[in-house]
Chain A
Amino acid sequence: DAGVTQSPTHLIKTRGQHVTLRCSPISGHKSVSWYQQVLGQGPQFIFQYYEKEERGRGNFPDRFSARQFPNYSSELNVNALLLGDSALYLCASSLGQDHTEAFFGQGTRLTVV
């Protein structure tokens, strides 16, 4: 069985650009969450989507947005990129909204130059 898959694995963008990151959850999982991990820190919660609705949002600016599709895959969009957005972006999927059994993808390494 495929685990959580994220694409792309690495990405380099210029300040001010826009980026879209993609996540496919484990088959049957209906919840997707996004985390940002800056070097030297633990992952920080950005969003949770369950059944295609936003169920939680962390302390991130409105430049960050996400959505979940009918097949439960998800996209994270970041507009007007800043150097500080450089990080590993992790997607986690879980069966239900309860986040206690979450499985993580390998992440997308975003570098903003």
Chain B
Amino acid sequence: DQQVKQNSPSLSVQEGRISILNCDYTNSMFDYFLWYKKYPAEGPTFLISISSIKDKNEDGRFTVFLNKSAKHLSLHIVPSQPGDSAVYFCAAPYNFNKFYFGSGTKLNVKP
């Protein structure tokens, strides 16, 4: 059951431009969302999160937007840098003890 979906397997953007990564979910019980970033040969590292009581959360170059009615969230990175090239996973915790992850979007930021 794919409760969290990332429909774009890859995204390529030019350095300095905006990267927008999208995520959709089906379970209306989800009330907290996280984005993780993963480099090859490393585990996922926490990037940014958002609670369902908010529609936006910002941390430096990273902003996550949540549209509860559409069950959609997006991660904006601006300006994008080559070091941002990685796989980005959207995740939702459920029942306090597990995450549902999307399938990931591989971001390539070209110099």
Candidates A48, A100, A104, A105; contact of B49 at CB < 8 Å: A100
Distance, CA A48 to CA B98, complexed state (A): 7
Can you list 16 pairs linking A and B with CB atoms under 8 Å apart? A35-B101, A40-B103, A42-B102, A42-B103, A43-B44, A43-B101, A45-B98, A48-B98, A90-B43, A90-B44, A99-B96, A100-B49, A100-B93, A101-B46, A106-B42, A107-B43
Answer whether residue B69 sits at the interface, using C-beta atoms and an 8 A cutoff. Answer: no
Which residue of B has the minimal Cβ distance to A43?
B101
- Which residues of A are in contact with B by a Cβ distance under 8 Å? 4, 31, 33, 35, 40-45, 48, 50, 55-56, 58, 90, 97-107
Return chain A residues, CB-CB under 8 Å to B36.
104
In contact, B98 and A56 (Cβ under 8 angstroms): yes
New A-B pairs, 10, CB < 8 Å, besides A99-B98, A100-B32? A4-B43, A31-B97, A42-B6, A43-B89, A45-B99, A45-B100, A90-B44, A98-B96, A99-B97, A104-B36
Answer whether residue B52 sits at the interface, using C-beta atoms and an 8 A cutoff. Answer: no
Most A C-beta atoms less than 10 A away, residue of B34, B49, B96: B96
Which residue of A has the minimal Cβ distance to B32?
A100
Answer whether residue B4 sits at the interface, using C-beta atoms and an 8 A cutoff. Answer: yes
In contact, A44 and B101 (Cβ under 8 angstroms): yes
In contact, A105 and B104 (Cβ under 8 angstroms): no
Return chain B residues, CB-CB under 8 Å to A90.
43-44
Distance, CA A103 to CA B99, complexed state (A): 12
Return chain A residues, CB-CB under 8 Å to B97.
31, 33, 48, 50, 55-56, 97, 99
Candidates B43, B98, B101; contact of A42 at CB < 8 Å: B101
Answer whether residue B29 sits at the interface, using C-beta atoms and an 8 A cutoff. Answer: no
Answer whether residue B41 sits at the interface, using C-beta atoms and an 8 A cutoff. Answer: yes
